[in-house]
Amino acid sequence: MPKFLGRIEFPCTIELGRGLEGAITNVTRIGYVNGEEGHLNYRGYSIEDLSDNCSYEEVAYLLIFGKLPNRAELNTFQLRLRKSGELPEEIIRIIETLPRDAHPMNVLQTGVAAFGCLDRDSLEVTRHVSDPAAALEIETEIAIRIMARTRSIAAAIARARKGQAVLQPDPNLSFTGNYLYQMSGEKPSPVTEKLMDICLILQADHGMNASTFTAVVTHSTLSDMYSTIAAAIGSLRGPLHGGANEAALEELAAIGGPEKAKAWVAEKIAKGQKVIGFGHRVYKAYDPRALVLKKHAEALCREKGMESLYRTAVEVENLFLAEMKAKGKPIYPNVDYYSGIVYHALGFPTPLFPVIFAVSRTAGWAARVLEYLPENRIFRPRAVYDGPTDLKVVPIEKR
Ligand SMILES: CC(C)(COP(=O)(O)OP(=O)(O)OC[C@H]1O[C@@H](n2cnc3c(N)ncnc32)[C@H](O)[C@@H]1OP(=O)(O)O)[C@@H](O)C(=O)NCCC(=O)NCCS
């Protein structure tokens, strides 16, 4: 099937491709991906500015409430997050019962969905359908609860995989500090916490990507917020989306050193295979998140004695990009290429990479869903039917 499907003149010209390329879902004030020039902003602030000067909690607040919090607002927000991060026995049991080698994204999705069975308030959106302001208020509260709960489930998964006891959050730590503490049992150094904060900030929101679209579509049926976030986690899991950081690192590690990059890239190109961690539907320039992470990956790999991995990544990037530029279609690294290296150098097991992405993106999913709610209309696109219309059923014995 051709990629280009048609053109709509309304009120501007939109070119549509398969995979809803070019389709518009709604008007948003949450964030803007400038794919041509390689810029990303959240509510008007560049991600470089936010990752240099804010914590993940401030950025999550910005995405959800539309402004950067002052000190008092941040304190209240942190309190709301802290109140919800405890894991009840039922959830811990589920996480510990599932096979240790189950994919962490499946366990995360199960944990979030199960939490929905315990949170009686999560039915409220349906009850408040005739009162949009009340629906927005309760859904915002539940979204904040889910942010903290997703984080705690994610950390619990890391521990359960190693047969370690699940840890509850420490009320004196930040959102990110707790994520690291609940995973490792150790309070992180300020440097590690800041680096993790940067990773979470960079992945907190990114336009109407597949998982965000999944969240908005799910919630547009007035489904509950837990089902919404669980659906989005399922969508994020795939290697074309949030699973790419896991796949990209596995590919890089398998190359076996920078000196082997040339032959590896040549083989990929000769076989017409995709290099995971490259390309993007929207970015036609360098993904700005990858640029920030590349800088940190370099410093971190040097510090941890992992220069070979970093140099392999840079070598692959240079060779692959040069080849693609020569073919007239430059394809740049995306966020997943360098985030995988940073997570690896921070000591996270590879299967947990997409889970970190999900913890971060929960803020963006929630923000987009809450923005859409006051003007909610159920999503219902159509497919072009291209099959027969005149068949008659033949009795089963005669088929
Ligand atoms: C991100 C991605 C899914 C976007 O998909 P998309 O918008 O549907 O783009 P397409 O897959 O149609 O790719 C467009 C063209 O670029 C090429 N291309 C895209 N990504 C590529 C990659 N990583 N390696 C090699 N070629 C790639 C495709 O082969 C295609 O070439 P063609 O026009 O000659 O057929 C895609 O780039 C990809 O699969 N990347 C690898 C997975 C990944 O890193 N995902 C994380 C995204 S943040």
Mean pLDDT of the 252-268 span: 95
CATH of domain 47-240+354-375: 1.10.580.10
Q: Are strands 4-10 and 12-17 parallel, antiparallel or unpaired?
A: antiparallel
Please count the helices (runs of H) and the strands (runs of E) in the chain.
17, 5
Task: Give the pLDDT score at 375.
Answer: 87
Q: Supply angle C-alpha 67, 70, 74, rounded to 5.
A: 90
* Tens digits of residue pLDDT in 177-234: 999 999 999 999 999 999 999 999 999 999 999 999 999 999 999 999 999 999 999 9
* Tens digits of residue pLDDT in 74-121: 999 999 999 999 999 999 999 999 999 999 999 999 999 999 999 999
- Known active-site residue 280: yes
Mean pLDDT of the 37-65 span: 97
Task: Give the pLDDT score at 384.
Answer: 84
Task: Give the pLDDT score at 31.
Answer: 96
Residue 219: burial class (beta carbons within 10 Å; 0-12, 13-18, 19+): buried
Q: Does the pLDDT of residue 343 top 70, yes or no?
A: yes
Q: Which ligand 1 atom is at minimum distance from the Cα of 242?
A: 46
CA–centroid distance, residue 275 to ligand 1 (Å): 8
* Tens digits of residue pLDDT in 10-28: 667 778 889 999 888 999 9
Ligand 1 pocket at CB < 6 A: 19, 240, 244, 274-281, 331, 334-336
| 203 vs 4, more confident | 203
Identify the band that residue 167 occupies on the pLDDT scale cut at 50, 70 and 90: very high
| 172 vs 4, more confident | 172
- Rounded Cα distance between 70 and 370, Å, is 21
CATH superfamily of 244-345: Cytochrome P450-Terp, domain 2 (1.10.230.10)
The residue among 173, 150, 174 whose CA lies nearest residue 95 is 150
Q: What stretches of 8-55 show up as alpha helix (H) in DSSP?
A: 47-53
Task: Give the pLDDT score at 6.
Answer: 62
Does residue 372 contact residue 220 with C-beta atoms inside 8 Å? yes
Task: Give the pLDDT score at 152.
Answer: 98
Task: Give the pLDDT score at 395.
Answer: 97
Exactly one of 197, 224, 287, 336 is catalytic; name it.
336
- Rounded Cα distance between 380 and 385, Å, is 15
- Known active-site residue 336: yes
Measuring CA to CA, how many Å separate 350 from each of 140, 250, 254, 355, 389? 32, 8, 13, 10, 49
| 244 vs 73, more confident | 73
Best of 5, 280, 284 for a ligand 1 pocket test (most atoms within 8 Å of beta carbon): 280
Q: What are the domain boundaries of the chain?
A: 47-240+354-375, 244-345
Exactly one of 39, 103, 128, 241 is catalytic; name it.
241
- Known active-site residue 296: no
Are the folds of 47-240+354-375 and 244-345 the same? Answer: no
Give the closest residue (by CA) to ligand 1 atom 20.
279
What percentage of the chain reaches a pLDDT higher than 70?
Answer: 96
Q: Does the pLDDT of residue 1 top 60, yes or no?
A: no
Give the closest residue (by CA) to ligand 1 atom 24.
274
Give the closest residue (by CA) to ligand 1 atom 7.
281
Task: Give the pLDDT score at 166.
Answer: 97
Does residue 294 contact residue 341 with C-beta atoms inside 8 Å? no
What percentage of the chain reaches a pLDDT higher than 90?
Answer: 85
Q: Does the pLDDT of residue 277 top 90, yes or no?
A: yes
